[in-house]
Amino acid sequence: MPGPLFAHLDAAGVPPAPPAAGSGLYARVALDAPVRREFSYRVPEAFVAQLQPGCRVRVPFGARERLGVVVGLDPAPPEGVAVQRLKDLRALLDVEPLLTPALLRLARRIADTCYCSWGQALAAMLPAALRNDRTRRAIPVV
């Protein structure tokens, strides 16, 4: 069965099994934008072991990349969204979470009571240097 017509078949003439529709890990990311919702992204295999809620990530958003905070991890994509439409996280900026679960809950409460987005409340909790793409660094005390 040579030729491009049968290129999708294996040596036995059987098409490969499609990937499971919900396989992988999906991150809910809050962005510093006036939008009161989170955005879902696929988590690349390289980030699965380290990614936790409270970590900063760089994600594609429209024509550019934005900084966001992971607020949740899901084993399945959001309901009603095709897996093919989800984009991958571009970079993991923190090895360990910068914001604790208590701070995530506090930011959510601030967002609900002050009429801002969850991402805007989280951005207000971060030092100015960490609101950009900079990685954390330790400064030795002399």
| Distance separating alpha carbons of residues 57 and 31, to the nearest angstrom | 10
pLDDT at 22: 44
pLDDT digits (tens, 9 = 90+) for 36-92: 899 999 999 989 889 999 999 999 998 899 999 999 999 988 888 888 889 999 999
- Determine contact, residues 94/56, Cβ cutoff 8 Å: yes
pTM of the model: 0.75
Cβ-contact 41, 48 below 8 angstroms: no
Q: Cα separation of 130 and 123, whole Å? A: 9
